Structure 1
Amino acid sequence: MAVVKNVPKRSDGVETMARLMVEARKELSKHGVDEFDVEVVLENSKTARSSLYHHFGSKFGLVYAAQLEELTESLNNDNAVFRLLVETSTSEKEFFGKLTELMHATSTKEFIEFRRNRIRVFSSATSNKKLADSVRAAQVKGHLYFTETLEILRDRGWIKPQFDLHTVTYMIHGLLFGHVLLDFSRLPELEEGWGDTAIAAIIYLVGGSEKFAPLAKSSKTK
């Protein structure tokens, strides 16, 4: 019986790329692009430099691939969480109550780091056309999915939008991404107010009932 000899090599190649990507993302999270240490990545992934060049072309090829993977993963996760929020809610009140809790949760350390990582990706994309094209494609696809989730809310009659929902999607993401300004300002006393204001703005943008806006405040006083 003939033996296909190239299969193990192909499998090894996939495993090598996966190890490099895991360690590259760890290094990016710790030190960012400017202080990215490829030697640490090679050592921790137990990978030869020649393998890195073979699979990614260069150190920066690996960095850009890791950043794109991180962005795509985060967009997919965002969409999955929001869709689950909609699908598991049995009423408008329950949905906007859960959304309010989520808005206040965006002030946590985990979300702050998440926003910093996304900034790094966008920053790198401004100087790399290939990465920029990939980021654009991932973002357009992800935001279309988010718009479809808003359409589910509209079809249920939970929101009555006066604006185009695709446009609203970008407004909402701009609002959420803009939270990074407060992160850098380091004014924790404004975080609760940011959450209250954010949910009120989102309710207005999607055409939700204003009666649910006070939930943002009441949820913090219970």
Structure 2
Amino acid sequence: MSEPKRKRSDGLETIDRIVSFAAAELDEVGPVQFNVIRVLEKAGVSRSSVYHHFHNREGLIAAVEVQRLLEQLTVTNKTTREFVSQAESAEVILGAIETVLKIAGSEDGKQNRRRRIATMAAAQTIPVLAASIADTQMRGDEYMAGTLQVAVDKGLIAPTESLLGIAQWIGSLALGRATVDLATDVGGDEQWLSATMFSLRALLKPMK
């Protein structure tokens, strides 16, 4: 009964090793000159391992981008938890959220959303990456719900919906905003921001 578990563990270790060396290669030469053979030689794995787990060169590059995206999401969640834990009022929290959303409306923010969507779309064709995104998203939503619970326990908010539901809604904002990015109306983003903050206030119901 232990043999399948050992094989699965070995497979995950191989994936981590390949992605680690692929990340170093990508940092060193960029996506245009990215060389799979060089990655294989440095990682000490067979070509079949790459194509089995990632399908092709583009899939391996996508794996690196997915890993970095998930790491960024984890850092964001932890930073948010720390900020909420130290906040003395809901208005401070909402003000910070609005500032972050305004900054995300910049051209750099739009580019980041486009890359994130492209990365997630590419990952859906590779089972190991799709599963990793799904697992991280689920755990991220639960972590955000826990962060909201911290605010509840401090008496800062009195949510009008389930904490997990609100957390999932917050998590969907980045991708949903991408549709606003496509609009030619220069005032579209301001209207989206206003509606988002109104909805957030209604969902969180600030108490102090």
TM-score w.r.t. length of structure 2:
0.74
Paired residue for 2:155? 157
Aligned to 1:20: 22
**1:16: how far off?**
8.5
Judging changes above 3 Å, is the alpha-carbon distance between structure 1 residues 18 and 122 closer, same or farther for their aligned structure 2 residues? closer
Q: CA RMSD in A?
A: 3.1
CA distance in 2, matches of 1:175, 1:115: 11
Count of aligned pairs between the two proteins? 186
Shift of 1:146: 1.0
For the structure 1 residues 51 and 145, does the alpha-carbon distance in structure 2 shift closer, same or farther, using more than 3 Å as the test? same
| CA pair 97-167 structure 1, distance change in 2 beyond 3 A | same
Q: How does 1:61-100 map to 2 (within 5 A)?
A: 61-100=59-98
* Secondary structure, counterpart of 2:169 in structure 1: helix
Once the two structures are TM-superposed, the CA of residue 49 in structure 1 deviates from its matched residue by: 5.4
Q: Which one is further off, 134-143 or 89-98?
A: 89-98
Q: Distance in 2 between matches of 1:197 and 1:162?
A: 17
Q: Which moved more, 1:79-88 or 1:128-137?
A: 79-88
Q: Which amino acid aligns with 1:116?
A: R
Q: Could you tell me which residue of structure 2 aligns to residue 136 of structure 1?
A: 134
Q: Residue 54 of structure 1 is aligned with which of 45, 51, 65?
A: 45
- In structure 1, the gaps of 5 or more residues are 1-13, 29-35, 213-222
Structure-1 separation of matches of 2:189 and 2:28: 28
Segments of 5+ residues of structure 2 without an aligned counterpart are 1-15, 52-56
Identity within the alignment, %: 20
Distance in 1, matches of 2:131 and 2:39, equals 29
1:38-77 Cα offsets, whole Å, 9 max, x none, are: xx0239xx94654468276142452242132122112113
Cα distance change, pair 202–63 in 1 and its aligned pair in 2 (3 A): same
Q: Counterpart of 1:21 in 2: which secondary structure?
A: helix
Task: Name which one, 1 or 2, has greater alpha-carbon Rg.
Answer: 1
